[in-house]
Amino acid sequence: MSKLTAIVLAAGQGTRMKSSLSKALQPMCGKPLLEFVVEAALEAGADEAVVVVGHQREAVTEQLARAFGERVRTAVQDVQRGTGHAVQCALAALNSGTHSVLILCGDTPLLRALDLRALVSARDVGNLELAMLTCRVADPTGYGRVLREAGRIIGIREHRDATEEERRNEEINPGVFCSRLDFLRGALANLSPNNEQGELYLTDIVTAAAKVSEVRGVAAPSETLAGVNDRAQLAAAEEAMHVRIADRWRREGVTIRSGVKIDAGVVLECDATLEHGVVLRGKTHIGARAFIDVGCVLEDVLVGAGAKLLPYSVCSRSTLGEAARVGPFSHVRPDTAIGPEAHVGNFVETKNTVLHRGAKANHLAYLGDGEIGEGANVGAGTIFCNYDGFQKHKTTIGPRAFIGSDSQLVAPVTVGEGAYVATGTTVTKDVPADALALSRTHQENKLGYAARLRARLLAKAKRG
């Protein structure tokens, strides 16, 4: 069976990024820029992809292996001798059975699979040696121009090699081709560095193809073909991708207000609502009918069906159960599991803590390294004293226990089922089930003393 293989050119350093990180690995919407290009090729029908790497090749190769496994391999371009040379470097890595090749640039993350499918179809249906995407832009400065004669594509002229008349042409080459492999091998073998840069231009294969058959041009929107060369272009591409991602989920039945930022790896279920300014990162999964209010930031969080996050809550690497309620202004730190119908409220911070079904901590608490039983209540100002300066220790609160406000639980400690901890208590030893823990100093009221105290303090202030 004949195969379609994608060749993705990603060997460059991307010096205009002014970054120690390779351009291919620059983050965009939660993943490296290069991954969007590879995904588009695979979604368009490529059986596999060969990515041409150079700068930071080990890091790029490792990232591709994590993301795509064996469907993507790499080929090395040690010396940058042009785009034609880069494709030559990839040929040896192609598996047997490859009949057609998609050639893409690794810095075009907005490339759409539907445009690639149209390109592949145009080459296949016409049984052509080569087809290419084209587009028109208002300012073509810097782009290679598509040359036509009587409407037929006859070649591409790079901007620096073009005449003034050719530079007025607004139809450009975005660098996306589909070619029959046998033709491509021969055309690449005949490339010559006869140009201002002394490089092997991939675009010269267009002239070679036009001499033996039609070169089909497939028009695509210019905004989807834009390359990313600096941070400003990266920001613009990310903004466009955020809009694309949000609109996709809106069509799937999710309510998404303005200003929401959703990473590419996020999953949303029907009837979820994201209010203004929500940011969802990583592998976050929002369940059906969940409500995420204004300004919440979630990273790698599983939110159960019908859960509600109130404004400006921050959650990471945690699980929120069905109908759970979090916020406002809560901080749910990694390895927290908030059970079904459990509540974590105003200015409560959790870390590595489990709240079972219906447990509540509604106000001003720190719950670190703990387990809170079903239906238990943790009062305002409670602190789990979990760190002794060297190790973390666990606090366990039994089902239906009640922890009074402003209590300190010095771990390791267990409060039994149904027990009460009185307000202001410091718990240093286990509390049995159904017991009352009470730890307070004796209160003494000195009648009439307040007036004398005020007078003394006022006199001292005047002397000072």
DSSP H or E run through 360:
strand 360-363
- Return the ∠ at Cα 421 (arms to 417 and 427), rounded to 5°: 100
From CA 259, how far away is CA 102, in angstroms rounded?
36
Q: Are the C-beta atoms of residues 359 and 340 closer than 8 Å to each other?
A: no
Burial class of 110 by CB neighbour count within 10 A (0 to 12, 13 to 18, 19+): buried
Question: With 0-12 CB in 10 A as exposed, 13-18 as middle and 19+ as buried, what is 187?
Answer: buried
Please name the helix (run of DSSP H) or strand (run of DSSP E) that holds residue 362, with its range, or none.
strand 360-363
Which of the following is catalytic: 55, 242, 276, 363? 363
Query: Helices (DSSP H) in 44-160: which residue ranges?
Result: 57-68, 83-91, 113-126
What 33-36 contacts at long range (C-beta under 8 Å, 24+ apart), as own/partner pairs, is 33/106, 33/107, 33/109, 33/228, 33/234, 33/237, 34/8, 34/10, 34/60, 34/63, 34/64, 34/106, 34/107, 34/109, 35/63, 35/64, 35/67, 36/109, 36/110, 36/111, 36/241, 36/264
The answer to whether the CB of 130 falls within 8 A of the CB of 215 is yes
Taking the C-alpha atoms of residue 310 and residue 299, their distance in angstroms, rounded to an integer, is: 16
Q: Is 276 labeled as catalytic in the residue annotation?
A: no
Instruction: Report the 10 Å Cβ neighbour count for 435.
Output: 15
Residue 169, both tokens: 């042409």
Both tokens of 192, joined, read: 């010559």
Strand partners, 135: 172
Question: Exposed (0-12), middle (13-18) or buried (19+): which is 327, by Cβ within 10 Å?
Answer: buried
- Supply the residues annotated as catalytic: 363
